[in-house]
């Protein structure tokens, strides 16, 4: 019997850094009752190459009613014409021909930007540059020890996740009946503010979105305090539709609370932003895909200027 694989991307597009590199998680689910070995691969769109993509551990065993996540790394080579490209992820059973059991994700896009070539230093200037460096280093020993004015303290936005429940939106492509609520302390765990955001997902692809206000344009480090349990799912975060960080594994034998965990760093503008918690899989035999978030924190990343 052919396995009817389900393939879901964590976001509709890759978020690329200035070097046109990025990562995205794809989740493959086995809806059948028998385990099967899946092979995950990438189908590049028009104008792109398979060699741009790397799949970590592309072949794995998936238990019946279970799922696994694959991390796809994208590295666009220098000189690629800047424009929008696309790709799809697909999965098939290792013991069958790809055309017999292959299933694909939706189309995922990525925007390639023009990268300026590195500037070259003329050879005639090298000798002078070396001499100048020697002078600068000597003077710098004195200059860098001075601190005439301390830089401003970076801003930190800390939000009790449960306070965002009233304005949260829940989406379930499978119409599973997923819900979100503010859960009081339980199971020997005490959350900050005595409650947590409790997402009761019931299928892969279920997600909950909350709105967080950012006070200024800039680069922000995103971190959260999470909860794990025996019926908690594997999840990823997206911000404004773009994945931030990797997959968080939600399973532990009993209910536990983490410390602050860094998710990733993201460039944000001043104003409201949509933070989404998306179910991408699970590692245990349960029909629940629950998740818990205690606290959300955005910390401003401030470049440290050299004072003189």
- Over residues 192-234, the pLDDT tens digits come to 999 999 999 999 899 999 999 999 999 999 999 999 998 999 9
Structural domain that includes position 98: 6-111
pLDDT of residue 134 exceeding 50, the answer is: no
Q: Minimal CA–CA distance to 278: which of 189, 210, 193?
A: 210
CA dist list (Å): 70 to 9, 100, 134, 168, 187: 10, 21, 49, 28, 32
At residue 122, does pLDDT exceed 70?
no
Is residue 83 included in any domain, yes or no? yes
Percent of the chain with pLDDT over 90: 54
Q: List phi, psi (to 5°) of 276.
A: -120, 135
The pTM of this model reads 0.61
Is there a single domain that holds both residue 100 and residue 218? no
Q: Are residues 166 and 282 located together in one domain of the fold?
A: yes
Residue 4, token pair as written in the block = 């009817």
Asked whether residue 137 is assigned to any structural domain, the reply reads no
Together in a domain, 165 and 240 = yes
Half-sphere exposure of 191 (CA within 13 A, CB side): 30
Comparing 128 with 251, which gets the higher pLDDT? Answer: 251
Mean pLDDT of the chain: 85
Domain-embedded: residue 141: no
**How many domains does the structure of the chain reveal?**
2
Last residue of a domain, one of 111, 146, 173: 111
Looking at the fold, whether 165 and 232 belong to one and the same domain comes out as yes
pLDDT at 285 over 80: no
Both 161 and 104 in one domain: the answer is no
Domain match, 53 and 170 both: no
Domain-located, residue 278? yes
Query: According to the model, what pLDDT value does residue 141 have?
Result: 34
CATH of residue 168's domain is 2.60.120.260
Q: What is the mean pLDDT of residues 41-53?
A: 91
């Amino acid at each position: 019997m052919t396995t009817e694989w389900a393939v879901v991307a964590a976001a509709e597009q890759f978020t690329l850094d200035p070097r046109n590199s990025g990562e995205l998680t794809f989740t493959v689910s086995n809806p059948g009752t028998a385990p099967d070995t899946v092979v995950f691969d990438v189908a590049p769109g028009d104008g792109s190459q398979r060699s741009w993509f790397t799949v970590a551990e592309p072949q794995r065993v998936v238990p019946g009613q279970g799922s696994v996540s694959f991390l796809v790394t994208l590295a666009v080579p220098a000189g690629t014409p800047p424009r929008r490209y696309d790709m799809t992820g697909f999965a098939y059973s290792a013991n069958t021909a790809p055309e017999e059991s292959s299933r694909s994700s939706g189309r995922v896009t990525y925007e390639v930007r023009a990268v300026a070539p590195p500037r070259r230093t003329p050879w005639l200037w090298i000798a002078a540059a070396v001499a100048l460096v020697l002078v600068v280093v000597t003077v710098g020993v004195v200059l860098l020890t001075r601190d005439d004015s301390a830089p401003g303290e970076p801003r930190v936005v800390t939000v009790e996740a449960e306070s965002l429940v009233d304005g949260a939106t829940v989406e379930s492509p499978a119409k599973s009946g997923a819900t979100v609520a503010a859960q009081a302390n339980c199971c020997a765990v005490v959350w900050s503010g005595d409650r947590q955001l409790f997402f009761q997902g019931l299928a892969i692809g279920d997600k909950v979105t909350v709105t967080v206000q950012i006070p200024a344009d800039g680069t922000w480090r995103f971190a959260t305090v999470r909860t794990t349990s025996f019926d908690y799912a594997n999840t990823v975060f997206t911000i404004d539709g773009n994945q931030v960080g990797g997959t968080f594994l939600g399973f532990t034998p009993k209910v536990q609370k983490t410390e602050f965990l860094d998710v990733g760093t993201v460039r944000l503008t001043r104003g409201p932003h949509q933070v989404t918690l998306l179910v991408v899989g699970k590692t245990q035999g349960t029909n629940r895909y629950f998740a818990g978030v205690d606290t959300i924190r955005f910390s401003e990343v401030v470049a440290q200027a050299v004072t003189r």
